[in-house]
Structure 1
Amino acid sequence: MMPDPSMSAWEPEIQPRQTLWQRLDAAARHMLPSIFIAFIIILFSAPIPLPGAAELLPAIVIATVFFWSFWRPSGMPSVAVFILGLFMDLVGFTPLGVSAFILLLVHGVGLYARFGLMRLHFLLVWGVFSLLATAACLLQWGLACLFRFHMLDVAPALFEAFLCIGVYPPLSALFSWVFHMLDDKEEP
């Protein structure tokens, strides 16, 4: 970019300033995935008759964290993942830090694998997510067994893993649409 000849050398080029509403809009767009997860945690933990809410909550949260960590890490920072995991533990009466630990692992794998998986077909990404979700659910089951000093039935953990795997494609389609809407809005 060529400097403006009418400006003297000591005058900096003035950038247009964003208004308060533009900054709030940009912040809300970046916080949208975290707000969605917080809303889902509150909705599925509320005492309203939603069938299967307790089983769907971890599946939706794990799928959401993976998708946004994979496609837009700025919308799913590690601090937000940790806070949402602690919030999920507090609301779900699970030992404090278990969900945060598992969600941070999912987030880390999503960040680490993003450049290698971005160019791959959706089915391959879904396969990687399936392995990750199964490992996360089995880790959660293992930690529950460790905390109780008792071997629990593995069937609920496998059911949760299958829910994670089944929930990912529709959530991925929804989040892809939202992702493109956010990108269209950010262009000047």
Structure 2
Amino acid sequence: MMPDPSMSSWEPEIQPRQTLWQRLDSGLRHLLPSLFIALAIIVFSAPIPLPGSAELLPAIVIATVFFWSFWRPSGMPSLAVFVLGLFMDLVGFAPLGVSAFILLLVHGVAFYARFGLMRLHFLLVWAVFSLLATAACMLQWGLACLFRLHMLDMAPALFESFLCIGVYPPLSALFSWVFRMLDDEEDA
């Protein structure tokens, strides 16, 4: 079969250039999950009379990192997870690097398991997240015991684990809606 002589293969295909606003819009879409986490860290660390805010913050951050690392890894890059973990440690007066390490582990598991998990029902993904969140909370408890050089009560770590498990379904529903909105606007 002969190629069409009117179409020369050496001519480059002309791509339409994006305007500045289109590039800013695209950049903000990718930063949205990180901005949500940064805002949550600021709000839940502020001295406002919000009951349970100190316990709820790690649950929201872990669930958010898992969801976006799983469904849209470009919106939750490893560098952003690391910086947000350091920011969480600085604001929460935790040993520097503990939250960053735990969040990077959650991010890594969600990122590398996403292709196997995408075909599963939500309840199975939630079960995997539950195991991962429990492991992350127990690791945080273990590191806290190590830094203080004595055994701490395990009840707060279990409570934080249950909060992580309980906060994932409503956050997942919210983020799924946002994910669909972002995809619809990108397609337009």
TM superposition score normalised by structure 1: 0.95
Amino acid at match of 1:186: E
Q: Where in structure 1 are there 5+ consecutive unaligned residues?
A: none
What is the aligned partner in structure 1 of residue 51 from structure 2?
A: 51
Residues 137-164 of structure 1, C-alpha deviations (whole Å, 9 max, x = no match): 0000000000000100000000000000
Distance (Å, rounded) in 2 between the aligned partners of 1:38 and 1:141:
23
What is the aligned partner in structure 2 of residue 115 from structure 1?
A: 115
Distance (Å, rounded) in 1 between the aligned partners of 2:129 and 2:75:
19
In 2 relative to 1, CA 29–3 (structure 1 residues): closer, same or farther, beyond 3 Å?
A: farther
In 2 relative to 1, CA 30–3 (structure 1 residues): closer, same or farther, beyond 3 Å?
A: farther
Q: What do you get for the CA RMSD once the two structures are aligned?
A: 1.6
Distance (Å, rounded) in 2 between the aligned partners of 1:3 and 1:47:
71
Amino acid at match of 2:111: L
What is the aligned partner in structure 1 of residue 164 from structure 2?
A: 164
TM superposition score normalised by structure 2: 0.95
Distance (Å, rounded) in 1 between the aligned partners of 2:114 and 2:51:
34
Identity of aligned residues (%): 85
What is the aligned partner in structure 2 of residue 28 from structure 1?
A: 28
Distance (Å, rounded) in 2 between the aligned partners of 1:176 and 1:149:
42
Amino acid at match of 1:37: I
Q: Where in structure 2 are there 5+ consecutive unaligned residues?
A: none
What is the aligned partner in structure 1 of residue 39 from structure 2?
A: 39
Amino acid at match of 1:61: V
Moved over 6 A (4+): none
Amino acid at match of 1:75: G
Matched length: 186
In 2 relative to 1, CA 4–184 (structure 1 residues): closer, same or farther, beyond 3 Å?
A: farther
